[in-house]
Amino acid sequence: MKSWDTIIIGAGIIGLSLAIELRKAGMSVLVIEKGEPGREASWAAGGMLADFGLEIPAPLQALARASARMYPEFVHELEDESGLKIDLRSEGTLFFPDSKQDHALQESHPLPASLAKLEPAFRASDRLPLYVQERCVDPRHLTAAAIAAARHRGIDFSSGDPARAIEIRDGKAAVVRTDRTQFAAAIVVNCAGAWAGQIRPHAFPTRPVKGQMLCVAMPEKDLVSHVVRSSDVYLIPRSDGRLVIGATQEEAGFDKQTVPETLQKLRKAALDLIPKLADARILEAWAGLRPGTPDKLPILGETATPGYFVATGHFRDGILLAPITGRIMRQVITGQQPEFDLNAFAAERFRT
């Protein structure tokens, strides 16, 4: 049986960023993917790097801020190693908070110019957004570059064959059994996203939270230049003139079908903000499965089985959290003190 220092299950952005970190630390790494690398949640995401406090659960805020700070370097390194370009934008976000209670926030996050100047295509309204200095990234560019960078660094991949179980020998993780074969490693990390709970022996309580989105071609390339976030819809411009409009949050099991009426609602909410989008051609619609957990926090760190680790459950923020997750999981796995307290994210919290 072939063996590696580490096996990572799941070639989404979390598994990939950790694989690269561990390879940099000198380990041999195999990534096992049930389908095609990078084609699940990490492909479906919008790519907002939304570290602004309101929507991130409190225990996650320090990690979110640290990860947002790491992004320019993270992207730069992946571009360098893959030879691929990643669309990372720093124009900032216009954020429409839900209620009037956010008056104080308005003062602490003023618009740098009038709304008419920042986004001339906006429908005139008496609601003013906050300005937040968040970046956004094209997640498909990001995962494609991470896959290429991983290959370039000599990380091995097994694709199209799901991991089913971790075999434990002498009380430690030793072998990963797939449908077709088995691979050996002293360290195994479950990064299987919404499917993480399906691999034996531990049933992590992850579940899929479906998100439908669509993408249009802006009638003028820079019709929208900021990310726009409101309670009904968000808009994420790409530098090539596409605009991503998202997203639903649905409990629909592992279903990834799009529903025309639902997409119409998202499009209508976008038109309410930017009437000129009525002329925008729809390029694509899709749905993806966010890895959700009961308390909306990720599951990070060791498990009850020595040698078996987990990094999943990043829900709505896995693109944002990929760089910091790779780094802190590398620290845990190589026996260093992680730079953040990971107690709130321990797999143990779900053991009854």
* Residue 46 binds ligand FAD, judged by CB under 6 A: yes
Closest approach, Cβ 267 to ligand FAD, in A, equals: 15
Nearer to ligand FAD, 275 or 294 (CB): 294
Residue 271: helix, strand or coil by DSSP? Answer: helix
Give the largest Cα separation in the chain, rounded.
68
* Residue 328 binds ligand FAD, judged by CB under 6 A: no
* Residue 307 binds ligand FAD, judged by CB under 6 A: no
Residue 231 dihedral angles phi and psi, to the nearest 5°: -70, -25
| Site residues (CB under 6 A) for ligand FAD, limited to 52-91 | none
Closest approach, Cβ 191 to ligand FAD, in A, equals: 6
Closest approach, Cβ 279 to ligand FAD, in A, equals: 25
How far is 235 from 42, CA to CA, in rounded Å?
A: 18
Tokens of 235: 């808009």
How far is 176 from 163, CA to CA, in rounded Å?
A: 7
Q: Residue 31: beta bridge partners? A: 8, 157
By CB under 6 A, name the one of 129, 193, 323, 326 that touches ligand FAD: 193
Nearer to ligand FAD, 17 or 225 (CB): 17
The separation between the first and the last C-alpha atoms of the chain, rounded to the nearest angstrom, is: 35
* Residue 32 binds ligand FAD, judged by CB under 6 A: yes
By CB under 6 A, name the one of 226, 316, 327, 330 that touches ligand FAD: 316
Nearer to ligand FAD, 174 or 192 (CB): 192
Q: Which stretch binds ligand FAD (CB under 6 A): 96-104, 116-124, 285-293, 334-342?
A: 285-293
Cβ neighbours around 16 below 10 Å, total? 30
Nearest alpha carbon to residue 63 among 294, 345, 346: 345
Closest approach, Cβ 13 to ligand FAD, in A, equals: 5
Q: Where are the alpha helices (DSSP H) in the chain?
A: 13-24, 41-44, 61-82, 103-108, 115-118, 139-152, 260-273, 318-333
Q: Residue 302: beta bridge partners? A: 309
Residue count, binding to ligand FAD (CB under 6 A): 43
Nearest alpha carbon to residue 95 among 119, 66, 62: 119
Q: Which stretch binds ligand FAD (CB under 6 A): 46-54, 122-130, 179-187, 338-346?
A: 46-54
Nearer to ligand FAD, 255 or 279 (CB): 255
By CB under 6 A, name the one of 7, 8, 11, 94 that touches ligand FAD: 11
Residue 201: helix, strand or coil by DSSP? Answer: coil
By CB under 6 A, name the one of 97, 291, 292, 307 that touches ligand FAD: 291
How far is 21 from 32, CA to CA, in rounded Å?
A: 16
* Residue 247 binds ligand FAD, judged by CB under 6 A: yes
Tokens of 122: 């906006």
* Residue 266 binds ligand FAD, judged by CB under 6 A: no
Binding site for ligand FAD (CB under 6 A): 9-15, 32-35, 40-42, 44-48, 162-163, 191-195, 198-199, 211, 213, 246-247, 288, 290-291, 312, 314-320
